[in-house]
Amino acid sequence: MLKSMTGFGRGEYIDSNHRIVVEIKAVNHRYNEIVIRMPKNLGSLEDKIRRCIANTILRGRVDAFITVDEYGEKRRTVRVDKELAMAYHNAMRELAGLLAIPATDNIYHLSKYPEVLKVEEIAEDVEELWPKLASAIEIAIKNLMKMRETEGNNIESDLLQRVDKLHTYIGAIEERAPHILVEYREKLLQRMRELLTAVSAEPDETRLLQETAIFADRTNFTEEIVRLKSHLAQFQSAVKSPDAVGRKLDFIVQEINRETNTIASKANDSSIANIVVEIKSEIEKVREQIQNIE
């Protein structure tokens, strides 16, 4: 089953303390590129997140967006900057000495000086958050894959129809092939008669056979037809494979195009040239489609 590289999936996890939303967008790309945008405090989980996505999505550019909302009470602590408090205390006593006034120490007054007391939130252990985040990621990936598989089915149907067309065109080439040699022999014979009429001579049958044999050898594209059919069979088989076959299909299409060009150059026939134009048109459409296959 083919999978498109394009898709979108959203996953959400909610409990009494957290709401985690994961959105994953994927587009076609030559390689597997994963870009993650998430809160800074989740940085230590990036490798886990990346592996989780890469285990399922093998090719394409993937953008993952993660947001975390906390609903529970936040844990806080008050930190005392002891060195700063002592510096304030000593500075006040020194100032009192300079002004010759009594130095009075008031701890509550001292605590109001800037930066002496700091209220800090106790960071949550992100490892404890991981199971929740993993659940949201799994749901997002599942929804993304559904979309990719649906699009992949549509592409698969289109590709198989085009392969059927290519088989039809190849059949037309095979049907036309025997007539090329017959028509060449008739044209050659007619030309020889026209040239020999002036000297009242008849065409040399041996020479006619030699020229016809040379032409037949030069225009023989039987091997190319056999290989072309083989490539189409490989293409059809790969389309049905459960694996990621985008690159393989791209290679097969290159080989199909190469054999088609060879047939066109060997045939030396306008009818086959017209058929080849149709084949190349279908090949280009196939190439465009497989650019979006994983």
69 and 183 in a single domain? The answer is: no
Q: What is the CATH number of the domain that holds 135?
A: 3.30.230.70
Q: Does the residue 107 lie in any domain?
A: yes
285 and 179 in a single domain? The answer is: yes
pLDDT value of position 209: 64
Q: Does the residue 280 lie in any domain?
A: yes
Q: Does the residue 233 lie in any domain?
A: yes
Q: Does the residue 47 lie in any domain?
A: yes
182 and 263 in a single domain? The answer is: yes
Q: How far is CA 71 from CA 38, 62, 247, 276, in A?
A: 18, 29, 46, 66
154 and 258 in a single domain? The answer is: yes
How many domains does one find in the chain? 3
Contact 12, 21 (CB under 8 A): yes
Q: Does the residue 2 lie in any domain?
A: no
Counting as low any pLDDT under 70, the low residues of the chain are 72-76, 103, 105, 120-124, 181-186, 188-219
CA-wise closest residue to 119 among 76, 72, 75: 76
60 and 100 in a single domain? The answer is: no
Q: Does the residue 1 lie in any domain?
A: no
pLDDT value of position 232: 95
Q: Does the residue 114 lie in any domain?
A: yes
Q: Does the residue 50 lie in any domain?
A: yes
pLDDT value of position 204: 60
36 and 159 in a single domain? The answer is: no
11 and 139 in a single domain? The answer is: yes
132 and 98 in a single domain? The answer is: no
Return phi, psi of residue 62, to 5°.
Answer: -120, 125
Domain span at 81: 76-121
Pairing of strands 32-37, 60-70: parallel
57 and 142 in a single domain? The answer is: yes
133 and 169 in a single domain? The answer is: no
189 and 284 in a single domain? The answer is: yes
Residues 6+ apart with CB under 8 A from 9: 23, 24, 139, 140, 141, 142, 143, 144, 145, 146, 147
202 and 272 in a single domain? The answer is: yes
